[in-house]
Chain A
Amino acid sequence: MIQNVNVDIEKVGIADMKLVKPPQYIRTSGLGSCVGVVIYDSERRIAGLAHVMLPESSLAKTSEFNPAKYADTAVQELVSRLVNKGAKQGTLKAKIAGGAQMFQFSTGNDLMRIGPRNVDAVKKELIRFNVRLISEDVGGNSGRTIEFNPTNGVLFIKTVNKGTIEI
């Protein structure tokens, strides 16, 4: 990850989603309480990544909103875009990372534990759309940068001061 400058990397911003095919990689940076959801079809070698901020679209206070922001709408949208591009529903797999509790407050409201709630919501949606969760690196209290290689389905996770792991 990171060191390989020759690789073309698609970057996904906060509350954003994109799809990639090899040889491109896909990355999102600075996940805190947000969750990075990678959904991919390993046979057809196509992958999508969403940077989810909030658990449910019912939290939206406006009628129009960005689907990538919420766990429920992001998973649905990602699955439908992948299927549109030729991925086969039912064979889709997922890897997720993020959902940390960055700050601890004793008096916080429910939004203060948004990280674990995001993780739970994403998992629930993956089950709803019959996407198999292969591996995860969630919780804790550190930020993460993640990068996915659709060629072999490896997800790299970089954490500050803790190096890079592969899941």
Chain B
Amino acid sequence: MTSQPVRQHILSHAAADQAATQPVAEAVSGQPGDSPTVVPLRVDLAQTGFNPALLRLPAIESAAVTLSLVVDLVPGWKPRKNPLKCIGLTLPEGMNFAPARPAATPAAAEACGLLRKPDAGVDHAAAGACDCGDRDSSGTVAAVPKKKTRIRPPADALSLQDRLFYLLQPPLESWLAGQELIMPFEPFAYQYEGIAWLFARHSALLADEMGLGKTMQTITGIRLLLRSGQIRRVLLICPKPLIPNWQREFRTWAEELPVVTIEGTGARRKMLWTLPGACILIANYEAMTRDLNEIPPEEQPKFDLLVLDEAQRIKNRDSRTAETARAVNRRRSWALTGTPIENRPEELAALFEFMEVIPARSSPDLRQLSRLAREHILRRTKDLVMKDMPPRIDRDAELELTDAQQAAYTTAEKEGIVQLNDLGESISVQHVFELVLRLKQITNYDPLTGESAKLERLVADMEEVAASGGKAILFSQWTKTLDWLNVRLQQFNPLIYHGGVPTPKREPILAKFKNDPDAHLILMSYGTGAVGLNLQFAGYVFLYDRWWNPAIEDQAINRAHRIGVKNPVIVTRFISKNTIEERIDRVLREKRELFAAVLGDGDNSNVSLSLNASEIFGLFDLKARHKDGSRSIGPAHPEAA
């Protein structure tokens, strides 16, 4: 169908005056040539004087318009699915292990956190009453805390995928509450935080004070990283005496994890280093240094995580141990120590170099060290996290030497000083050091007569300890002194634990000390007994002679005063009056006070206050005569004991 063209004509012919009052005629014709039809339209015109112009006929044009016979709907719209862009993240599958043993009873399951309600639990004050950390299996268990510890992405996780990986992990409390991983004991809140902190870091220095559970936090961090597929192969290096301790703790906290200890002949050790499928390797520092330096570079084993326990062992950057540790092929580096700084802040730089957070051989200043410490070091002290822990009671037993001891001491000191003076310019700190050791040994007992003021006092104290069914730990610098004491303290069924005891025999000794009610005393050397052992069931500690460094003494004391301790720990330091011991004690005390005054934070337990050469000379009113006046003397570490 076509539309008809329409022609329109509009005529206007009104006079100006008429236009103002008359309607304007409009004509529309239907066909061409038709007579126009006049349509009356009224137009009001203003009196402007130009109205005569309206007398002219307007120019009219016409155009053809096509009429549409279809009605359009505008605007058109229909629902459609907009394509959405997505951002995705696939998380590693992780490792699955054989299911842990189910709890034997509902009560046991509840105690282990297996039956946790979403909001069930108690506050951390109550949870803090439970026994956990580096503990034995005798601890009590509190209900699951209400708080949720989430893993936070570290500052150096920049990509969105990395950050989402950490944010999407479940709260540690539910992860570890027995739904997937059975924990034998409920960790404390600060331990959850430590685990979450370790989990998220490639470079970490866990520097919690001794006794707060660095071992447990490390094992659980490893466990979670293995579970989440972040790591598959771990190397743990520790001092040799601590290997049985780590083995035991792995059995306690992660019994499903296979642990291989590097030991045996050279060929066997080499096979173990490269053993495929070995999930966790444990080795001591000496084995690491010896074995890895013998393996060709192309055959060096690779690890996802290297953990150094008692990491102060690599504080000397140039030592072969430190160089070997830094050369281990690894992706993550964790260091554990309760004493990150033993003598100088530069020791921290050695640890940071191992952790690969500073360039090799660089020497960051204190401001830079402090900034790095905030990101890479986690340190908590017992004062901060264990406010309800029974106190440690220190008491100094200042003893007069017996007559025989005094005579021997006086003679030895006089002769020694004469000999030192006779040495003239050839005197060295080693000469002075030898005299100090000789005098200290006499304060322990007179080698000729066997008299000992310390022994008399010790026997008196031990009779009380034994009568009350208590247990005590005695530390000495010398294994010879320990053997001497062992003979004279048989009424207390003493046990001996020092470097001369073969490693396989050490665990049974500790077990006997714990379980035998008649074993009231264990005699330990600082070197072997000061680190890594859990003896919180002992309520008494005797320091029969003093170590050179209060930090080492603190480590020894913290074998007993640690998490899980139920009663106050009484620490007795034997100091012979008017002897070299009293002078050393005074110097160390002054240095500790000076350091506390400088730092002012009260946390000076991580600082070694070892005597340097000048101070050793000063003990006998001698002067350091050589350029090594500031060099520390004495054993670098109690392993030498």
Do A and B truly interact? no
